Amino acid sequence: MQWFAAPEYWLGRLLVQRMVAAVYLLGFLAAARQFRALIGEHGMLPVPRFLARVPFRQAPGLFQLRYSDRLFAAVAWTGCALSAAVLAGLADLVPLWASMLLWAVLWAGYLSIVNVGQVWYSFGWESLLLEAGFLMAFLGNDEVAPPVLTLWLLRWLVFRVEFGAGLIKLRGDSCWRDLTCLRYHHETQPMPGPLSWFFHHLPDPLHRVEVAANHVTQLLVPVCLFLPQPVAGLAACVIVVTQLWLVASGNFAWLNWLTIALALSAVDTGLLDGLFPLPAPPAHGPAPGWFEGLVIATAAGVAVLSRRPARNLLSRRQVMNRSFNRYHLVNTYGAFGSVNRLRQEVTVEGTDDTEITRHTVWKEYQFRGKPGDVRRLPRQFAPYHLRLDWLMWFAGISPEYARPWFLPFVARLLENDPDTLRLLRVNPFPAAPPTHVRAVLHLYRFTDRHELRATGAWWHRTALHEFLEPTALETLRRTGHGLAVRPAGRRRALRTVPLAPPGRRGREPRTPPAPRPPDQDPTAGGDR
């Protein structure tokens, strides 16, 4: 069937598949390095306990058959090896059926991880990676030209990512409609990057231009993906440039890089040749009949599964980052339907004093990515995903969101658990575990230029109240792992000395308005 093949997209396919393989490599690597502390047999939310109450039909995957930390590590490291091999070009060196099998193994392995990952894997980009990996198997390899139907499925995926994000903004926070959201976003986003301070201090008119450009890119440009070339290719390039802007301004795991990869599927070789002057592969042979049949069946299946995501896009009650099936195929996406005006951070501290008095000296644990030390410039970690740091951001928004895992986290700090401590940047108790751990809720804001020159601090912070009162290991063992956070009306205030003097922006309000709840945030998972 001549209509089936699109040989002019061979370079786009190569770039898309290699970039998606690179993201799979990062996903499996993060799983291998972090799982023992988060979901291992002795982790904060152990997989065996989860599987005891969740049947296969609700969370399909390999670990429903058997779970052990050794098996999980084997799956994660095998996924790393296979992803690296595909990234290096293995899928183009093997027969077509073997190439499809490689992608199927990657998808099934990561699906098994996501479906037991619980809250640690409740991010929209997990479903995006699974949906993208599933479609990669139907892009073929160097034996055949890229199938037209699969290329259209990838455009439909990019459209849902961008258009869904644009609609949720217009329907959500009013600051998107009055073009003021970026007065706050760079400061209050989950994990700022090294340039976020500078983005935050851009002139207000430029912030308004950023918001207006975002609306154009997410609401008008995605429609152009379905127009003839070169319009579709140029629209994809606009999406790529916008995503690179987001890469520079913050840390959003692999969301932006995966969107860039998928957008390149709409760019034909004529536009890409100048940037990637790679030798063309040998002439493609005709696609086998069985492959054509599988692609057509997949396109039909995606069309059927698209009904609910399409209805969601048109609904006034639009939700974002929702998986409508347990295989994470044909999902709905979105980003930042609401923007917090203030940044609240939970800091975790320990002491080796046996008795807690007003003179107790507390030492702070430092995280790798989330703000802590006010003089430390935020680092760039994306596209690598620091799952604990992201969940700590949610904890600052809502103690209820931290209820399942926060006290288990504290218990492991009180034991100096090595797997947990590897997730942190600084452990202030290297020789022996602390006797007590507490958590304090702070109000953070970026310093201005005057404060930065005077103090060397990128952040100014003010302590608000205790998030968790001083807790000993014996207390946790006696009371269990329910999150004993003080009710709102009984929070104990702290006597606070600001770590940097207030600048021209004035003092923070004594009682800040409550941030938006997590279920309105772009990272809130859909059905897990």
Tokens 């077509």 sit on residue: 96
DSSP string, 125-167: HHHHHHHHHHHHTTS--TTBPPBHHHHHHHHHHHHHHHHHHHH
The DSSP code for 219 is I
A 10 A CB-CB count for 95 gives 10
Contact 83, 25 (CB under 8 A): yes
Distance CA 197, CA 343 (A): 14
Eight-class DSSP state of 115: T
Residue 271's pLDDT is what? 77
Residue 3: its pLDDT value, please? Answer: 83
Question: Vertex 385, ends 382 and 387: CA angle to 5°?
Answer: 140
The confidence score (pLDDT) of residue 279 equals 73
- Distance CA(361)–CA(70), nearest Å, equals 40
Helix (H) or strand (E) holding 182: none
Which one-letter amino acid corresponds to residue 217? T
The pLDDT value given to residue 497: 29
Q: Give residue for tokens 């007003």.
A: 358
The reported pLDDT for the residue numbered 178 is 95
Q: So what's the pLDDT on residue 494?
A: 40
pLDDT at res. 511: 33
Type of residue at 111? L
pTM value?
0.90
- Alpha-carbon distance values, 274 to 2, 277, 321, 344 (Å): 28, 6, 35, 46
SS3 category, 444 = strand
Nearest Cα to 484, choosing from 400, 395, 414, 412? 400
Task: Report d(CA 306, CA 312) in Å as an integer.
Answer: 10
Residue-level pLDDT, tens digit, the chain, 528 residues: 678 999 999 999 999 999 999 999 999 999 999 999 999 999 999 999 999 999 999 999 999 999 999 999 999 999 999 999 999 999 999 999 999 999 999 999 999 999 999 999 999 999 999 999 999 999 999 999 999 999 999 999 999 999 999 999 999 999 999 999 999 999 999 999 999 999 999 999 999 999 999 999 999 999 999 999 999 999 999 999 999 999 999 999 999 999 999 999 999 887 777 777 777 777 777 899 999 999 999 999 999 999 999 999 999 899 989 899 999 999 999 988 899 999 999 999 999 999 999 999 999 999 999 999 999 999 999 999 999 999 999 999 988 889 999 999 999 999 999 999 999 999 999 999 999 999 999 999 999 999 999 999 999 999 999 999 999 999 888 876 544 344 334 444 443 323 233 333 333 333 333 344 333 343 343 333
Helix axes 289-305, 307-314, angle to 10 degrees: 40
Residue 260, CA distances (Å) to 162, 235, 248, 364 in order: 11, 12, 14, 38
pLDDT at 1: 63
Contact 434, 399 (CB under 8 A): no
* 369-373 contact pairs (CB < 8 A, 24+): 369/191, 369/251, 370/191, 370/345, 371/192, 371/343, 371/345, 371/444, 371/459, 372/345, 372/347, 372/425
How far separated are the first and last CA of the chain, in Å rounded? Answer: 41
* Angstrom distance (rounded) from CA 465 to CA 495: 9
Give the residue from 294, 291, 334 showing the smallest Cα distance to 128. 334
AA identity, residue 494: L
Distances from the Cα of 271 to the Cα of 21, 159, 274, 277, 494, angstroms: 23, 20, 7, 11, 59
Write 492-497 long-range contacts (CB < 8 A, 24+): 492/465, 492/466, 493/464, 493/465, 494/440, 494/463, 494/464, 494/465, 494/466, 496/462, 496/463
Q: Which residues of 363-376 are buried (b: 16+ CB within 10 A; e: fewer)?
A: eebbbbbbbbbbee
Quick one: pLDDT at residue 107? 98
How many Cβ atoms sit within 10 Å of the Cβ of residue 495? Answer: 6
170 vs 111: CA distance, rounded Å: 32
- The alpha-carbon radius of gyration of the chain (Å, integer) is 24
Q: Compute the distance between CA of residue 201 and CA of residue 218 in angstroms, rounded to an integer.
A: 24
Estimate the crossing angle of helix 96-114 against helix 124-136, to 10 degrees.
160
Q: How far apart are CA 428 and CA 520, in angstroms?
A: 35
- With CA atoms as reference, report the closest residue to 147 among 304, 306, 298: 298
Rounded to 5°, angle at Cα 312 from 307 and 315: 125
